[in-house]
């Protein structure tokens, strides 16, 4: 696996049971996965020599993130290395314009969008879909951000001044956000997890509820079908996570990722097969595991860096208060707002399980039980354009 973040860390733990030798290409021995993986290779994923040398020692290469340059992925494939997902699929996880065009061509609904290179184009787009306009970096981003909610032309100009490739998208008045996670193996077997509800704040995933409460069975089946169809049409091998907007007019595709995803962390303690084992099965071309949940409701709450610099401080309190909370730490230094871990709680009652998960995550971050999580995004109206973090994991 190229990339040494928390997704590689958790995949490494899942690989233990399968008896495979799992190697990680990490930038430093301090990275999340490098701390726990016995077969860590240090190297820069931008560097062709490092990547090819690492890849040549592997039966299959897969990814912790979507930032490996496309030409390096192509170089691996040309060298006969088995890369899963392959470059043709990964393109749609790396290039938002290509993804939008492909999803639209398949007849799958997504927000209205248009590539934009200047303010006139943004204003022309806004003339059709109104303000605010969402600007998204087609690939990568700027200063760690890739999504900006612009309420005025002045805010849009500021984003345009970064000089990066952008698309404009309509600001969707969604009812809530959902996500569907599917796996597709190298030989084409597919499996879908239950549809989840995701709760974002300031563009960062905070909470995932599995299954999405009150979702109609028709919409659930539609979302699963959409995920499996997209995985097949894009020829994905491995996991495909599709972030969705649920609107009064139906489901819209927001983002896609082809790797283990934050919206699937609940599976570690809530499904027969965790997403990390499932990704390994898929890329190793093993039959996929059961995606059934093990409890009526499972809630995942991210632990974001808060006021407490030592994550061990809150552990005794949280474990003593609630012996059923499952804590997952990433071995990362605490920085405000950084994802440093998550908790999973399984149970029978959504409200009770959600409250337990929120309390635990809040206490681990801050060593106090603070007010938690308004229900949805709340873009504020301050100038300049609110940048929306996109850790994408």
Nearest-CA neighbor of 101 among 242, 124, 241, 92?
A: 92
- Among 65-73, 90-98, 160-168, 285-293, which window interacts with a second copy (CB under 8 A)? 285-293
12 belongs to the binding site for a second copy (CB under 8 A): yes
Which residues, numbered 50-79, are part of the site for a second copy (CB under 8 A)? none
10 belongs to the binding site for a second copy (CB under 8 A): yes
Single out the residue of 49, 105, 249, 316 in contact with a second copy (rule: CB under 8 A).
316
Single out the residue of 128, 188, 213, 287 in contact with a second copy (rule: CB under 8 A).
287
320 belongs to the binding site for a second copy (CB under 8 A): yes
106 belongs to the binding site for a second copy (CB under 8 A): no
Are 339 and 393 contacting, i.e. CB atoms less than 8 angstroms apart? Answer: yes
330 belongs to the binding site for a second copy (CB under 8 A): yes
Single out the residue of 102, 329, 372, 391 in contact with a second copy (rule: CB under 8 A).
329
Q: Which CB sits closer to a second copy, 96 or 265?
A: 265
CA angle 328, 331, 336 (to 5 degrees): 90
Distance, CA of 27 to CA of 106 (rounded, Å)? 38
CB of 132 to a second copy, least distance (A): 39
| φ and ψ at residue 206, rounded to 5 degrees | -110, -35
Are 297 and 346 contacting, i.e. CB atoms less than 8 angstroms apart? Answer: yes
- The number of residues that bind a second copy (CB under 8 A) is 46
Distance, CA of 25 to CA of 30 (rounded, Å)? 12
Are 72 and 49 contacting, i.e. CB atoms less than 8 angstroms apart? Answer: no
Helices (H), 95-177: 96-105, 119-129, 153-160
Distance, CA of 227 to CA of 44 (rounded, Å)? 32
Single out the residue of 84, 281, 339, 356 in contact with a second copy (rule: CB under 8 A).
281
Residues that bind a second copy (CB under 8 A): 9-10, 12-13, 15-19, 21-22, 34-38, 40, 191, 269, 272-273, 281, 286-290, 292, 294-295, 311-312, 315-316, 319-320, 323-324, 326-331, 341, 346
């Amino acid at each position: 696996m190229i990339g040494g973040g928390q997704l590689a860390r958790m995949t490494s733990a899942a690989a233990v049971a399968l008896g495979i030798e799992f190697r990680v290409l990490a930038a430093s021995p301090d990275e999340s996965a490098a701390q726990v993986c016995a077969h860590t290779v240090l190297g820069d994923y931008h560097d062709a020599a490092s990547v090819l040398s690492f890849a040549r020692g592997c039966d299959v290469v897969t990814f912790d993130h979507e930032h490996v340059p496309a030409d390096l992925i192509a170089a691996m494939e040309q060298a006969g290395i088995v890369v899963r997902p392959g470059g043709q699929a990964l393109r749609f996880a790396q290039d938002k314009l290509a993804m939008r065009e492909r999803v639209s061509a398949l007849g799958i609904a997504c927000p209205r969008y248009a590539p934009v290179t200047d303010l006139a184009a943004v204003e022309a787009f806004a003339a059709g879909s109104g303000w605010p306009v969402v600007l998204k970096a087609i690939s990568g981003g700027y200063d760690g951000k890739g999504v900006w909610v612009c309420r005025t032309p002045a805010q849009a100009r500021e984003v345009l001044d970064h000089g990066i490739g952008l698309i404009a998208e309509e600001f969707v008045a969604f009812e809530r956000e959902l996500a569907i996670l599917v796996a597709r193996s190298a030989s084409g077997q597919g499996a879908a997890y239950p549809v989840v509800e995701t709760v974002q704040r300031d563009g960062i995933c905070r909470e995932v509820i599995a299954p999405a409460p009150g979702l109609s069975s028709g919409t659930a089946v539609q979302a699963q079908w959409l995920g499996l169809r997209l995985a097949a049409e894009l020829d994905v091998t491995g996991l495909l996570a599709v972030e969705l907007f649920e609107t009064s007019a139906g489901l819209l595709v927001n983002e896609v990722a082809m790797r283990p995803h934050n919206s699937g962390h609940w599976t570690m303690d809530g499904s027969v097969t965790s997403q990390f084992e499932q990704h390994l099965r898929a890329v190793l071309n093993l039959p996929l595991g059961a995606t059934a949940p093990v409890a009526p409701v499972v809630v995942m709450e991210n632990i974001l860096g808060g006021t407490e610099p030592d994550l061990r401080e809150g552990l005794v309190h949280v474990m003593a208060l609630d012996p059923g909370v499952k804590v997952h730490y990433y071995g990362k230094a605490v920085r405000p707002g950084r994802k440093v871990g998550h908790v999973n709680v399984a149970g029978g009652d959504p409200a009770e399980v959600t409250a337990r998960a929120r309390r635990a995550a809040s206490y681990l971050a801050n060593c106090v039980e603070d007010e938690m999580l308004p229900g949805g995004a709340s873009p504020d109206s301050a100038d300049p354009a609110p940048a929306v973090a996109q850790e994408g994991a």
